[in-house]
Structure 1
Amino acid sequence: MVWQYKAVLMVGCTAGLGVAMAERMVENGSFVIAVGRRKERLNEFAAKHGPERVATSQFDITDLDGIQSWAER
């Protein structure tokens, strides 16, 4: 798969389709900013791929009132 983006922001990266897609992005050379609720799973994902390929941020994207303050961090 040819992927044209150098960096992507992925939500839901601690389980299911979100983590599967994030894995695929990393495999195809993108830097992934992985967002999810479970800190320990984000840490595992980051440890697997390293800081040169992944950054993480713990956040529950269903917290609509908190999105703006999270994005400003």
Structure 2
Amino acid sequence: MSRAFTKEDSGVRWEAPAEAKAYRLLWDGSGDNDVLRESDDLLELLKWAQAREQGRYLVQSADGKVLAQVLEAA
């Protein structure tokens, strides 16, 4: 394997970075919101969040604007 296509430290093949998606779903729990899922399909993200049993989620656009909040059922 050519050295040009491996990472220096681990010897693993280089992979192109993942393309940014249009929307992201974040867990809204603490100060640091963790990205749970990314997609170009907003409806798919909302359905996925709704199917979860518990939690509070934020839907953001690629530029970081909050588009929606998905709240846990009462």
TM-score by length of 2: 0.31
TM-score by length of 1: 0.31
**Larger-gyration structure (1/2):** 2
Question: Using CA pairs below 8 Å that are at least 6 residues apart, which structure has the higher relative contact order?
Answer: 1
Q: Which has the higher strand share?
A: 2
